[in-house]
Amino acid sequence: MRHKMGYRKLNRYPSHRQMMLRNLVTSLILKEKIVTTEQRAKETRKLADKIITLAKKDDLHSKKIIYSYLLSKEAGKHLEEIKNKFEGRDGGYTRIVNLGERRGDGAKLVILELVKE
């Protein structure tokens, strides 16, 4: 049974999984579009939406949390710029688009991107 399973483990140790997801969120904010597997994208989407919601609060505490989570200062500055286009939205800042299967191992690939409008 799947009761009380809060997240996907992604076959990683907790510290490795956390750093991998932080790296994916940072890349998503910088590039606004990344290609990854479906399971990683679903986990990254949760974290990215929380970070963007924090950025919309625009207070000192939120900024400190954001800059401590993201892996580069450039990503934090870019998030400050793009948060204005999400002012009217209450959530759903990311979109997952299916690409098909990866040739080597058959993993489902997706594009995880920030919604433009």
pTM: 0.91
**pLDDT at res. 33:** 96
| pLDDT tens digits, one per residue of 82-117 | 998 898 889 999 999 999 999 999 999 999 999 987
**pLDDT at res. 73:** 95
- Which domains occur in the chain, in start order? 14-114 (3.90.1030.10)
Angle (nearest 5°) at CA 42 between 5 and 79: 120
**pLDDT at res. 19:** 97
Task: State the CB neighbour count (10 A cutoff) for residue 46.
Answer: 14
| pLDDT tens digits, one per residue of 2-43 | 787 888 888 999 999 999 999 999 999 999 999 999 999 999
CA distances to 40, 57, 74, 77, 105 from 83, in Å: 23, 10, 14, 10, 37
